[in-house]
Amino acid sequence: MQPPASAIDLEDVRLTLPSAAGPVSILNGISLNVASGETMALLGPSGSGKSSLMMIAAGLEAATSGRVTVAGTDITRLSEDALARFRRGRVGIVFQSFHLIPTMTALENVAVPLELIGVHDAFDRSRTALDAVGLGARVEHYPSQLSGGEQQRVALARAMAPEPQVLFADEPTGNLDGETGQEIADLIFALHAQARTTLFVVTHEQALARRCGRVVQLKDGRIVADERT
Amino acid sequence: MNISLAFRLAARQARSGLSGFRIFFTSLVLGVMAIAGVGSLSEAFLTGLAQQGRVLLGGDVSIGLVHRETTNEEHAFLAKHGRTTETASMRAMAYAMNNGVEGARQLIELKATDKHYPLYGHVGTSPNVALKDALACKGTTCGALVEETLLGRLHIARGSIIRVGTQNFRVEAVLVREPDRISGGFSLGPHVLISDTALKRTGLVTYGSLIEYTYRLQAPASLSTDVFRSEANRKFPNAGWEIRTRENPTPGTRSFIDQVTMFLTLTALTILAVGGVGAGQAISAFLDRKRAEIAIFKSLGADGALIFTAFFIQIMAIAALAVVVGNLAGALLPFLVEWLYGTDLPIPASFAVFPQPLLLATAFGLLAAAATAIPALARARDIAPAALFRDAVDRSRTRIRWPYLLASAIAGLLVLLLAIAIAPSKLFAAEFLAGIAGGLVILRLVAGILRWCAGRLPRARNASVRLALANLVRPGAPTAGVITALGLGLTLLATVTLLGHTITSQVSDELPASAPSFFFLDIQPNQAAQFDRIISHFHSAQDYRRTPMIRGRIVSLKGVAARDAKVSADSRWALAGDRGITYAAAPPKGTQIVDGKWWPQNYAGPTLISFDADLARGMGLKIGDTIGLNVLGREIDGRIANLRDVNFGSGRQNFVLILSPGIIDKAPHSFLATVRVAPKDEEPLYRAVTDAFPSVSAIRVKDAIAQVSALLQQLSVGVGAASLLTILAGLLVLSGAIATSQRARLFDSTVLKVLGATRGRIAVIYALEFGLLGIVSGLLSIGIGAAAAWTISKTVFGLPFAFDLGAAVLTVVGGGAATLALGLAGSWQALAAKPNRQLREQ
């Protein structure tokens, strides 16, 4: 049987950021390969570099050195704008703080990435995506009129609507109460099961991590464990 | 890039309304309103002048002559083109007659009219009387119409008898309206209208008297005034007349309106510049708040160009709205003026909506908005999506890409070029704008230095002072912006005030020390000896000078007709109209020759000229060049023998042209005399001269100065109002800066209160912070304003600069107080907030 193609391939990735006290090493030679369709959780204590690793893998930040290939594209040397264009349709991101655009309705928030791609029926597809997360009746609501759980559902619909190859989720349940967090987690895995999207979850919750097929642990910018469940 | 998507995103962004854009919007409205208002008002007056050209001129064409009437040939030429009317204007003395005895007396502007006057418009009188009947001579007395002010000054009433020259007049009615008055020029006394027949009886008309004869022509509409002008000049090349046409009846008024419009438009541009500082800050603050949103867009795949375009569309849409509101307010200004002043306006105005100034204001507004917005947007364009996770990205390090810097610079440059292109005096406009730019740069630099110094001062012992200084230098503090914006407004006010003080003190304070007490005009040669004797009776009389004077026009320079000669703008006045000419064998006392030599005492050769050195420079003339003069219809060519420094600020007799005797002294002429006497002798001298010589006009310098001062006062009120608008824009910027830092202040004050600071203590900290900002802005403004006023008074007016301590103190204290008041008012929320509530909400 043919091994699955790589969705994410990181080779000796390093990240150093400037600070008032001098350069700070955030990531120290990370090499990681995530297969297409795989679900992976990135665990680690605060300050271990989880979010930075996800940002590099999602093309939100450039690595100081190393090589980053996502969905078959080497994005290591892409410019800011080229990275933005690369993300369109290939990468979906769900944030801990939802990051919906407050001046847009739920429907418009979901439509934005589709509009950026140039999809003709962006709003129809957005409606379908919102139906899929159980918010078909709240499409015209603004973020401020939605609860935290509902906002995260909108964010999930927005990330999944363009049918990306990789879905990054950064502490997707971190800002939600236990029950709502559970619902969101169920939804993420249900959507993954439906679309077979590669799932890259950053979390510090063991329960959420255990639902993934693979758990990678990070400490001080280095991978200290890589287990398949 | 998908433009339609950018529009869609901008439209969705716009749902948050003007929130975050109030300062940007208001600054732009103020600037556009000022430009549109000034332009509309100017158009209203210029259109009024053009529409009423015939009435204001009193004809379709007017021909002006000094000293002489037209010849029969000339008159026949005029009559061939239509109906004509003749008026004679001069300055004279009017005496109140009480039972045949001369009482109070007053210098008047006398105008004698023929029976055809006026050709257009009507003479307004109170009570309403027929002009012909009112001016008619009955027996030994003729009728006169006089302005109300003359009645007051001579303590007489309607029906009283006044004497002008040797003729008695009955005041038949009060002169309320003279249709062609505005084309008559500056008045030194009340106007009096009499008939031409009566003028002949006054004895004032002698050959060489300073009389201006004006012939007005009522021509068919088919007459081309240009054709008439060229035909008149071709047929009578030596007539020496001044031809005006219905298209531009009062070139002086038109030029005055143009100049005032230019100055006020430049001031309005300063409002835009001040507002621009605030607008830039407001847009940066807005985009800072949108940082996360921009990062979200980026994380969803939006590239920088899309982000830039979407926000640019949004900001320019708000700018367009501000331009519409500003234009609406500006377009209403003429109607407001009409409502306030109605028919009291000295210049006729046509009140309407004028598209041209509105288009101009639109262009200025949109270009200024683009110049301001582009740099801030270019920074926002490069916000990294990583900002969603990490705030450590140093915002100040974001460098603006060069194409955006270039675009912003082009927009700014277009504003400057447009301002210079529409200005009647390009050099002045360019210097003014350079001054504004220089002021901005200096203020910004000093503000930066102040911040730098405040950050490095040894720690103050007083905690309030330490915290106030810390507020000025903390990251994101609007110190530089506030000092720049408020400072520029105050600088303009300081410049205008100090310049006004310099001019008025020159006119009212410094002149009398060296200036004569009286000018006496029209002393006839046969009166000269007796006149000298009268003066000699006054022991306090000093600097008495009696000089021959005749009026003439400069008609050619180096053989080139004056109208075709290349002459700088600041020297052109000397070619427009008649100039006083004198002659002298020896250089008059105080003459300062800067080039060439005076002619020998007994020189009797061809005419030599001593000419004003400044004018010679402006006209490109040097020693040996020829100047052609027209005196009493005769052309005299002279060669420049020397150039003199002529100081018009001295208030003494100043002649641009002094000729060598030989030819000019043969022409009939009168004398001009000046003398300075002790204040106690002023009235006796005035009476003695006017008693002895009813035909001599006595001009009291004090009265003339009062008239000029009053005119300057009126002008400075208008200019001051425009400057205050600039300060208002500066205060807007300040309030915007306070609003931007409100959150940080709220947090700081909460923490301070938790730590035990009272509201009074926090208020003291804010008072120190804002007071310091205001005082620094005020001090800087005085410094830069004084430098600007010094430069302008030296280079433009040629006057010594007079510093006004009162104005300086007022600017500093006013600036400080306004900043303090606005700062404390703006920080009220932070002072009043309950710490427990704030802590729960944090």
| CB under 8 A, 24+ apart: contacts of A110-113 | A110/A154, A110/A157, A110/A158, A110/A161, A111/A161, A112/A158, A112/B9, A112/B297, A112/B300, A112/B302, A113/A88, A113/A89, A113/A158, A113/A159, A113/A161, A113/A162, A113/B300, A113/B301
Predicted confidence (pLDDT) at residue B400 exceeds the cutoff of 90: no
Look at A84 and B304 and tell me if their CB atoms are within 8 Å: yes
Higher pLDDT, B596 or B604: B596
The percentage of chain A sitting over the pLDDT mark of 90, rounded to a whole number, equals 54
Kindly determine whether residue A112 and residue B13, on different chains, have CB atoms separated by under 8 Å.
no
pLDDT in tens, A168-204: 999 998 888 888 889 889 989 998 988 889 999 999 8
Q: Given the cut 0.90, state whether the ipTM is greater than it.
A: no
A112/B293 Cβ within 8 A: no
Residues facing B674 on adjacent strands: B519, B545
Best of B291, B299, B307, B394 to mutate (most A CBs within 10 Å, chain A): B299
* Cβ <8 Å between B12 and A108: yes
Binning pLDDT at 50, 70 and 90, where does residue B838 land?
Answer: low
A19 shares contact with chain B (CB less than 8 Å): yes
Who has greater pLDDT, B751 or B825?
Answer: B825
Average pLDDT over residues B373-387: 84
- Model pTM above 0.80: no
Range scoring the smallest mean pLDDT among B37-51, B468-482, B485-499, B615-629? B468-482
Section B751-768 average pLDDT:
79
Question: Between residues 364 and 383 of chain B, which touch chain A (CB distance below 8 Å)?
Answer: 382
Q: Which of A51-65, B519-533, B734-748 has the lowest mean pLDDT?
A: B734-748
Of A146-150, B10-14, B384-388, B791-795, the one with minimum mean pLDDT is: B384-388
A22 touching B (Cβ < 8 Å): no
- Higher local confidence (pLDDT), B298 or B832: B298
pLDDT value for B610: 94
Residues of A in contact with B303 (CB under 8 A): 80-81, 84-85
> Hey, what are B515's tokens?
């200036």
| Spatial distance between the Cα atoms of B748 and B831, rounded to a whole number of angstroms | 10
* Among candidates A85, A93, A100 on the partner chain, residue whose Cβ is nearest the Cβ of B299: A93
Predicted confidence band of residue B159 (pLDDT cuts 50, 70, 90): very high
Q: In what order do the strands lie in the sheet with A214-219?
A: A91-94, A166-170, A198-202, A39-43, A214-219, A222-228
Q: Is residue B656 a contact partner of residue B627, using CB atoms and an 8 Å limit? A: no
Please give the average per-residue pLDDT across A40-65, as a whole number: 90
Contact yes or no for A99 and B292 at CB 8 A: yes
Token couple for B775: 């005082």
Give the residues across from B560 on adjacent strands. Answer: B557
Cβ of B303 within 8 Å of Cβ of A158? The answer is no
Cβ contact B299–A80 (<8 Å) = no
CA B686, B692, B698: angle at the middle one, nearest 5?
35
Partners of A81 on chain B (C-beta within 8 Å) are: 303-305
Sheet-wide strand order for A6-17:
A24-35, A6-17, A65-70, A73-74
Residue type (1 letter), B213: Y
Predicted pLDDT of residue B22:
82
- Structure confidence at residue B437 (pLDDT): 87
A79/B contact by beta carbon, under 8 A: no
- Looking at chain B, the whole-number percentage of residues with pLDDT higher than 70 is 92
Which of B126-140, B337-351, B594-608 has the weakest average pLDDT?
Answer: B337-351
Q: Does B392 reach chain A within 8 Å, measured CB to CB?
A: yes
Residue B614 near residue B598 (C-beta atoms within 8 A): no
Least confident span in B112-121, B135-144, B260-269, B457-466:
B457-466
Contact A80 B384 (CB under 8 A): yes
* A46 in contact with chain B, both atoms CB, cutoff 8 A: no
Q: Does B344 touch chain A (CB under 8 A)?
A: no
Task: Please tell me if residue B661 touches chain A, with a CB cutoff of 8 Å.
Answer: no
Cis peptide leading into residue B127 (ω within 30°):
yes
pLDDT tens per residue across span B723-744: 777 777 777 777 777 777 777 7
Mean pLDDT of B647-671: 80
The band of B397, judged by pLDDT with boundaries at 50, 70 and 90, is low
Q: Which of A17, A93, A112 sits opposite B392 (nearest CB)?
A: A17
Give the lowest-confidence range in A61-70, B391-400, B578-587, B614-623.
B391-400
Nearest by Cα to B818 from B717, B740, B736, B728: B728
> Are residues A93 and B303, on separate chains, in Cβ contact within 8 Å?
no
Are B440 and B484 in contact by the 8 Å Cβ rule? The answer is yes
Q: Average pLDDT, stretch B235-248?
A: 83
Quick check: B308 contacting A, CB < 8 Å? no
Mean of all residue pLDDT scores within chain A: 89
In this predicted structure, what is the pLDDT of residue B398?
A: 63
Is any Cβ of chain B less than 8 angstroms from the Cβ of A103? Answer: yes
B118, B138 Cβ separation under 8 angstroms: no
pLDDT above 50 for B842? no
As a whole number, mean pLDDT of residues B40-67 equals: 84
Between chains, do A88 and B301 touch, taking CB under 8 Å as contact? yes
Closest Cβ opposite residue A61 in set B292, B297, B386: B386
> Facing residues of B546 across strands?
B673
Query: How many Cα atoms within 13 Å fall on the side-chain side of residue B619?
Result: 32
B393 pLDDT band, cuts 50/70/90, is very low
The burial class, CB within 10 Å (0-12 / 13-18 / 19+), for B661 is middle
d(CA B384, nearest CA chain A) in Å: 8
| Model pLDDT, residue B836 | 60
Q: Is residue B345 scored above 90 in pLDDT?
A: no
Cβ of residue A78 closer than 8 Å to a chain B Cβ:
no
Over the stretch A133-156, which tens digit does the pLDDT of each residue have? 999 999 999 888 899 899 999 999
pLDDT attached to residue B531:
93
- Whether A116 sits inside 8 A of B306 (CB atoms) is yes
Q: Is the pLDDT of residue B392 over 60?
A: no
| Mean pLDDT, rounded, for B86-107 | 88
B544 burial (CB, 10 Å; 0-12 / 13-18 / 19+) is: middle
| A113 contacts on B by Cβ (under 8 Å) | 300-301
- In A, which residues are within 8 Å of B388 by CB distance? 60, 95, 99
Give the containing element (helix H, strand E) for A125: helix A122-132
Per-residue pLDDT tens over the stretch A113-139: 898 888 889 899 999 999 999 999 999
Q: Does B8 touch chain A (CB under 8 A)?
A: yes
Mean pLDDT of B606-617: 92
For residue range B420-453, list pLDDT tens digits in order.
888 877 888 888 888 888 888 888 898 888 888 8
> Of the spans B166-175, B240-249, B393-402, B646-655, which averages the highest pLDDT?
B166-175
